[in-house]
Structure 1
């Protein structure tokens, strides 16, 4: 299914005012750059500002080179690796994107961001049944480790995949089950509102979005289920719970 969440941003999120960053000089290709960056936090910050500029300008190749340097300098920083995976996918480099996501999941099998992005890629590649199987395996891991929040996050992703695979009734049922367990979790309300709006059940959508706005933190933007410019990406995971 080709439906993605970009349509919903105009319904839910308020416009974001971005401050134009100051120009930053691009670092050279020194072979010792990773060691230099690792020992110079200010250089990392400079590269991050430069990366934001490149992403905003749509300079994907340059952005990718910067991300590779940042990943090399800080291999434990999964944010850089995930951002690289997102960018690779948007550039049409699906297999390298999947490899980067698998590296994240090897370290943290319950990474919300990596599981969600990997599910989207698998679904777009026609691996519908494998997507659910992969997510159910992650759910078992969470249950076996008694990680209730992570298990709930995986179930949210499963519901999203059900919707993407046109199993609308199953998706709505999954969200209802999540709400019956925790009616204060604002995320299922948003997702249900999104589904209702896309199938022209607008009155029901308004009810769900109203409940979402009532429960969600102030100034919170639902970004994990919305495809946004990479430089503004903010993932909608377990850390954003009420």
Structure 2
């Protein structure tokens, strides 16, 4: 269950540096749990028509991200603007499996020769994580923690490994340890919400915790953390059915940092939920101008957003009613 227990938000010293990305994976301004890159999607082909079309995401193997969605086949009908984004990196794995295996073997050989090389350890850990070998990734992360005990990103990465492996209890334990040291870590709160989302959370209580953390961030001038909590609060508002309040938060986030693409995408997702396709298209077009060309935004949204399951379930129902 999501609970901070003994944590004192106002009196805990904030001594750990913050980053929106807690590993060396590509940086994003959103709070996210990186998707399992071993999860493979079939090619997505959109019609050249300007009308919304259907396409199906069918997981080819069991995958931790879709355990969050509790679905093995998701039908998505969305606005024409979203289809026009044509995600280039979702159609196929980044590299052939043999190449990944060769890379891992080379890294293992290099690590055997230099067991205290942090860069090699990190690279091998990331390779194992991407290939879904979470037990090995956790062991490597433990080695990184021993070598760099004051580096805050390694415990977060360890919790992610547990979460992706399906061991939510261990993930929650690590997130609680992180928050015991620094309660103002939005990514840890976000991960704790994800790990506890199937437990019938008291979202009102969670909001109270997040609001207190936001006040502390303001007092300590921790802008990045404050923004991270605001992003999380917006997600919680959607989960609670407060779509208008969520939209207002995302609008504020977009005004504060116009170059951040996630608030636009999330606004589009909410308008899609509300069946307001014109407004959704407007936000998706803003998002399209900002999102990096090869960024797997759909995959990331599936596993990093608390209301992703709600969105895709709604799209599935809508698609079924039209068939």
TM (normalized to structure 1)? Answer: 0.70
Q: In the alignment, is the contact (CA less than 8 A) between 1:123 and 1:131 conserved in 2?
A: no
User: Which protein has the larger Cα radius of gyration, Structure 1 or Structure 2?
Assistant: 2
* Among candidates 271, 275, 278, match of residue 196 of structure 1: 271
Q: Distance in 2 between matches of 1:94 and 1:55?
A: 16
Structure 1 residues 173, 207: CA separation in 2 closer, same or farther (over 3 Å shift)? same
| 2: CA distance, partners of 1:51 / 1:182 | 32
CA 1:55/1:178 → structure 2, altered by over 3 Å: closer, same or farther? closer
Q: Is the aligned partner of 1:90 residue 2:164?
A: yes
Larger RCO (CA within 8 A; separation ≥ 6): 2
What is the alpha-carbon distance in structure 2 between the residues aligned to residue 86 and residue 183 of structure 1? 29
Q: Which residue number corresponds to residue 80 of structure 1?
A: 154
Calculate the aligned-residue CA RMSD, in Å.
3.4
Cα deviation per residue 1:31-84 (whole Å; 9 max; x = unaligned)?
A: xxxxx85xx32xx33333332333333222222222222223322222221121
Query: Given the alignment, which residue of 213, 216, 227 partners 2:303?
Result: 227
What is the match of residue 234 of structure 1? none
Structure 2 counterpart of 1:18, from 62, 81, 94: 94
1:1-242 map, 5 Å:
13-15=87-89, 18-19=94-95, 20-21=99-100, 22-24=103-105, 26=108, 37=115, 40-41=116-117, 44-127=118-201, 128-179=203-254, 185-215=260-290, 222=297, 225-227=301-303
Choose between structure 1 and 2: higher helix proportion.
Answer: 1
Partner SS state of residue 104, structure 2: coil
Matched pairs, number: 214
**Which structure 2 residue ranges, 5 or more long, are not aligned?**
1-67, 305-323
Q: Measured at CA, do residues 62 and 162 of structure 1 come closer, stay the same or move farther in structure 2, by a change above 3 Å?
A: same
Shift of 1:117: 1.6
TM-aligned CA deviation for residue 157 of structure 1? 0.9
1:91-110: per-residue Cα shift (whole Å, max 9, x none)?
Answer: 33223212212232334433
